[in-house]
A and B are shown apart, each in its own frame.
Chain A
Amino acid sequence: MSATPARDRTIAVEINGEQVELEVPARRLLVHFIRDDLGLTGTHVGCDTGNCGACTIHVDGEAVKSCMLLAVQADGASIRTVEGLAADGELTALQQSFSTHHALQCGYCTPGMLMSATALLERNPRPSEEDVRYALQGNICRCTGYVNIVEAVVAAGKGA
């Protein structure tokens, strides 16, 4: 990455295991790069202030809100989106648990929730209810009241 300021950049990212190289304007948000430029529409936008977490993805293994990063900031990074969870079409235990526990209604917040919860489970495979609520604080759901989401993540941790 050059130290000369520029309005457009060619960036290279690894996304869900695939290498992508594309020119983007410096002002483009990572979430729009993912959705509009790469067509990975599983990552959603629910607010314009970084509060809702619907756009949560993993950058180099950490959960981040892709509406609070510029695409150029991700140059050289490895990205995982919801589409990368069940890469082989087989649902992860967490995804399955979400369905079993009715942890989603409209499904709009779900990709972000799954990414936050996946990051939690990777750090802490057996989270308590309190751990889960703490880890999901940055993800707003307007349908479920969180009850079943918390249940689903705890259950996924127990391998249930």
Chain B
Amino acid sequence: MLLREVEYARPGTIDEAVRLLAEHDGARPLAGGQTLVNVMKQRAAAPDVLIDLAALGELREISVSGDTLELGAMATLTQIVDSSEVDVARPILAEVARTVADVQVRNRGTIGGNVCVNDPTNHFPPLLVAVGATMTVRGIGGERTVPAEEFFVGVYLTAVGEGELLTRISVPARGPGSGDGFAGVTIGAHGTYIVNAAATVADGSARVVLGCVDAVPVLLELDQAHEASARKAVEAASLEPPSDVHASAEYRRHLAGVSAVRAVRQATERARG
């Protein structure tokens, strides 16, 4: 409950934030803090300097440009739930955001934080891979983009390097005849996922992404958006999920199949309209 000593700064611009991150060894960006502060309370991880991104208003913006939904990394989950842009462009994001933790956490927790933490049970890593999101990362030398598929590197590890900042997540708007689904099994209603699966269906094919079964989201591309092919793809993936108190590896493997099928079913139904 009681944190180690830490230094705190609240820069006013993104450039300043990036500079501070680069200048200070052991500096971490602080977004909503709904994971980071908790981890610091356990003293499990202890950043030396927190760079609070709260004052960077531009990182909170949600907008649509052309066929792309642009989410500022500091957009809160509540913003995403309430956003009419999200509702029009890619409603699955709001639908999933609505089931993350609870109101209080959604009020503070950000989409950028959710993906940068990359806890294997988090909602957005598999979803963003499924929808083919692109992540924009800013460093002292400038900006680069990383496809979501390459963004998640390991447990608690992403492509965001030391001294860098995730600034924007770009999600293609849902096209006609396409559909998204999300399914899984949680511990209690809206609780931590034991296994989850996100699916997008377009033109008869599907992308299914499994969460909680490996260090990073597992992408399965299906030629045919069928429940049976989803089941087969999960079997073929020879998953070796971790065991814990909530699920054995075997049970997780089974749930991966069930979740994939359910997500594909939902996505297919929606693709049909």
Contact = CB atoms under 8 A, between A and B. Distances in A.
B5 A6 contact: no
A70 B1 contact: no
B52 A48 contact: no
A126 B24 CA distance: 50
Interface in B1-50: 1-12, 16, 20, 24, 27, 30, 33-34, 37-38, 40-42, 49-50
A102 B146 CA distance: 54
A137 B24 contact: no
Of listed A2, A65, A72, A139, residue having the most chain B CB within 10 A? A65
Contacts of B101: 138
Interface string A58-83: 00001111011110110100000000
B7 A6 contact: yes
Contacts of B107: 62-64
B105 A50 contact: yes
Contacts of A116: 103-104
A5 interface: yes
A128 B42 CA distance: 37
B55 interface: yes
A4 interface: yes
Given A73-B33, A135-B103, A1 B5 contact: no
Interface stretch (A15-23, A24-32, A89-97, A152-160): A24-32
Contact of A73 (B2, B7, B42, B54): B54
B67 interface: no
Interface string A93-136: 00000000000000000000000100110000000000000110
Given A1-B10, A3-B16, A65 B105 contact: yes
B9 A27 contact: no
B272 interface: no
Contacts of B231: none
Nearest to A53: B104
Contact of B104 (A4, A63, A73): A63
Contacts of B105: 50, 65, 68, 138
Interface residues of B, number: 40
A56 interface: yes
Nearest to A72: B8
10 contacts: A1-B55, A5-B20, A5-B27, A7-B5, A53-B102, A64-B104, A68-B33, A68-B34, A73-B54, A139-B102
Given A5-B20, A138-B105, 12 more contacts: A3-B9, A9-B8, A25-B5, A29-B37, A29-B41, A67-B1, A68-B34, A68-B38, A68-B105, A70-B8, A75-B10, A137-B189
| Smallest CB-CB A-B distances: 10 pairs | A138-B102, A26-B8, A5-B7, A27-B3, A1-B10, A3-B11, A5-B9, A48-B1, A62-B107, A137-B102
Interface of A: 1-7, 9, 25-29, 45, 48-50, 53, 56, 62-65, 67-70, 72-73, 75, 116, 119-120, 134-135, 137-139
